Structure 1
């Protein structure tokens, strides 16, 4: 049996729409992963800065004694 043209068009539209939704969700997940990586990098930088401050304090303390 040959499907009607309108059915083919509607299937195409539905599939295309679903594909767009899935693709947009994948993009959103990727953006979220990137934001999480950026937050992790920022935490690492903060941690490094804090360590450097601690080292400086330690050096200052050693110089004073």
Structure 2
């Protein structure tokens, strides 16, 4: 009888700990709360007009990289389709 009770107790403790694990994770790492509406917003160190050209340069560089990659992928897919369309010579006896 004692072993049955011990097994049941152990099973209950394990299932309870599994069920409560998400709650403990949330308690350890709470979501940051947003600033109150009445508080002034933080002023950026760089003025917006100075940040715009940098952003635009980064964006255009990223876009050029993306275009280059797309072109390369297109070339690869053309090669693959061409290779797939060519009939493979089967060894004849």
Structure 1: 5+ residue stretches without partners: 56-65
Aligned to 2:53: 10
**Cα distance in 1 between the residues matched to 2:71 and 2:50:** 31
Structure 1, residues 6-42: CA drift from partner, whole Å, max 9, x if none? 2200011011111111111111111000001011112
Aligned to 1:19: 62
Shift of residue 4 of structure 1? 3.1
What count of residue pairs does the alignment treat as equivalent?
50
**Cα distance in 2 between the residues matched to 1:40 and 1:15:** 38
TM-score by length of 1: 0.60
Structure 2: 5+ residue stretches without partners: 1-44
Give the structure with higher Rg (CA).
2
- Which protein is richer in helix relative to its size? 1
